[in-house]
Structure 1
Amino acid sequence: MRQLLISLFALALTLCIAGCAGGGLSEDPFPSPADYEVHGIDVSKYQGDIDWDSVRASGVQFAWIKATEGGDRVDEKFAQNWASAKAAGIPRGAYHFAYWCRPAEEQAAWFTRNVPNDPDALPPVLDVEWNGQSKTCPKKLPREEAIAQMKVILAAMEQAYGKRPVIYTAIDFHRDVMQGEFNDYAIWVRSVKCNPALKYGDRKWRFWQHTAEGRVAGIKGNVDRNAFNGSAKDWQVWLAGVKVASST
């Protein structure tokens, strides 16, 4: 009987995975984005000029804003988005897109030079992905080197802003580098077809980027949508913890 139950569970999981990959099954046992209470966005220059008051009125409760790349690039809309999101009353944080061809120390210094230390901000984010589209940076590094570079940037961010950073990652980078690592950080995962439980295993995650084709009032065109893993009360507790961290 036990073996039969195991086989049935494996079959159900296989069917569920097929459904989240496009099979359209309605019996998915994992929560969908709509099942979460707290939702946000992440933006960059590609969203153009944003009406942040309309964004807030639409129900968006947090925003991650692209700030820097590598060691010499600043998103041209960062300063505008950073100021306007705060003015609209939306909790926001800045993220850095890591390049694997720049020394970690240079990248950390570039981020801290360009992102204000605002006690009201969300924690800084380190965005780690393989730079598959880059013509100048290597697409991949050995796992140990990638981990070492991440640790340098994360430590510098925490020292500069007084908050433990969030790590954003994609499925392939998590598989290649992050398995079993960075368990004491809040993780923001990308999974656009199914719940992260089906792609990241037992990895505990805090934020879920579930689509790149979201629509939000105040933004022309598509925008990334994200869900917070927890209730509205959990969100308030998490925000309070962020503020406490920044004051210690």
Structure 2
Amino acid sequence: MKTLTRRAALAGGAAAALGTLASCGVTGGAQAPGQVVSTRPDFGDAAPHPWSGRRPSDHPVHGIDVARYQDPLDWRRAQQAGVSFAFIKATEGADNVDAAFREHWNGAGAAGVPRGAYHFYYFCAPAADQARNFIRMVPRIPGDLPPVLDLEWNPFSPTCTWRPPAATVRSEVQIWLDMVERHFGQSPVIYTAIDFWETNELWRLGDYDFWLRSVAADPSERYANARWVFWQYSSTGLVPGARGEIDLNAFAGSRAEWARWLAARRI
């Protein structure tokens, strides 16, 4: 299958700075399914960081990521507060399914929040089995965000703390990426943290959209050679419609660039 690659989505100088953007307009006001939120986010933070240099608030497009640890959300209220996208945990390893996936998935969809599913990678199971687990769980619905692969070490896992060599990590991960791209018709986004990025030289994976965690500085200050599209800047966010703390994320570009990225990268 010929998919729309990230480089094929480049459109103009501003898009080139972001790395992967292409195509449509921005809407304002209330969001119907498939539209784009244009209001500036009304979020708080239980443990705000004293940002210097470029701040998350310099980016106009923000979203959240959720898993079973979050209570059910009032997605409509969250959308009205400026949640422009949501990444929702679907699976982990070869057979684990997130117990709250369906509830979060359906809630975001009903509120018109652009949504994507993510898989938490497990280093003690074959990549192909993990890809099949994700494909079984996540519906292929036109208009949804591309799939996401969450890559990070998990030293607290009760069953697998193995850290394979970097070359092994990349070769196995590539199996997952290729299988999932063939199924969904879009290349996955890769989420990671600073230590994993550096240890495994993830930039060697090639032309992927990266979603980077950096809670104390802009990703450009923490990730060498990084071309990022999403930035996870807090795990202590406070969002109307969500009870308790929640992860906050920013998109790299303007609202117009967000609309172009959506048009190019939706399933």
Q: TM-score range by the shorter chain?
A: 0.7 to 0.9
TM-superposed CA distance for 1:23, in Å, is 9.9
User: Aligned in 2, Cα 1:125/1:179: closer, same or farther, shift over 3 Å?
Assistant: closer
**C-alpha deviations, 1:44-81, integer Å up to 9, x for none?**
11111111111101111000000000011111110111
TM-superposed CA distance for 1:179, in Å, is 4.4
2-side partners of 1:202 and 1:105: how far apart? 28
User: Aligned in 2, Cα 1:126/1:179: closer, same or farther, shift over 3 Å?
Assistant: closer
Contact 2:170 2:205 in 1 (8 A): no
State the AA in 2 paired with 1:102.
Answer: A
State the AA in 1 paired with 2:148.
Answer: V
2-side partners of 1:236 and 1:140: how far apart? 38
1:49 paired to 2:72: yes
State the AA in 2 paired with 1:131.
Answer: N
Which residue of 1 is the match for residue 93 of structure 2? 70
Within-5 A mapping of 1:24-173: 24=50, 28-29=52-53, 31-173=54-196
1-side partners of 2:152 and 2:254: how far apart? 28
Contact 1:131 1:140 in 2 (8 A): no
TM-superposed CA distance for 1:233, in Å, is 0.4
State the AA in 2 paired with 1:127.
Answer: D
Q: TM-score, normalised by structure 2?
A: 0.80
Q: Which moved more, 1:35-44 or 1:193-202?
A: 193-202
2-side partners of 1:135 and 1:92: how far apart? 30
Unaligned runs of 5+ residues in structure 2 are 1-47
Which residue of 2 is the match for residue 178 of structure 1? 201
Which residue of 2 is the match for residue 202 of structure 1? 225
Which residue of 1 is the match for residue 10 of structure 2? none
2-side partners of 1:199 and 1:181: how far apart? 17
Which residue of 1 is the match for residue 240 of structure 2? 217
TM-superposed CA distance for 1:119, in Å, is 1.1
1-side partners of 2:256 and 2:224: how far apart? 26
2-side partners of 1:32 and 1:94: how far apart? 26
TM-superposed CA distance for 1:138, in Å, is 2.9
Contact 2:75 2:108 in 1 (8 A): yes
Which residue of 2 is the match for residue 239 of structure 1? 262
4+ residue runs of structure 1 moved beyond 3 angstroms? Answer: none
- Give the number of the structure whose residues are more often helix, by fraction: 1
Contact 1:209 1:226 in 2 (8 A): yes
2-side partners of 1:179 and 1:42: how far apart? 22
Percentage identity across aligned positions? Answer: 45
Which residue of 2 is the match for residue 11 of structure 1? none
2-side partners of 1:105 and 1:81: how far apart? 26
Unaligned runs of 5+ residues in structure 1 are 1-21
**C-alpha deviations, 1:93-146, integer Å up to 9, x for none?**
000000000000110000000100111110000000112111211331111110
Q: TM-score, normalised by structure 1?
A: 0.86
User: Aligned in 2, Cα 1:23/1:218: closer, same or farther, shift over 3 Å?
Assistant: closer
1-side partners of 2:136 and 2:169: how far apart? 23
TM-superposed CA distance for 1:174, in Å, is 0.1
SS in 2 for 1:99: coil
The higher radius of gyration belongs to 1
**C-alpha deviations, 1:136-191, integer Å up to 9, x for none?**
11331111110011100000110110011000000000001134312300000001
User: Aligned in 2, Cα 1:49/1:179: closer, same or farther, shift over 3 Å?
Assistant: closer
Matched residue count: 220
SS in 2 for 1:217: coil
Which residue of 1 is the match for residue 43 of structure 2? none
**C-alpha deviations, 1:205-245, integer Å up to 9, x for none?**
000000000001111000000000000000000001024xx
Which residue of 1 is the match for residue 251 of structure 2? 228
User: Aligned in 2, Cα 1:201/1:51: closer, same or farther, shift over 3 Å?
Assistant: same
State the AA in 1 paired with 2:171.
Answer: A
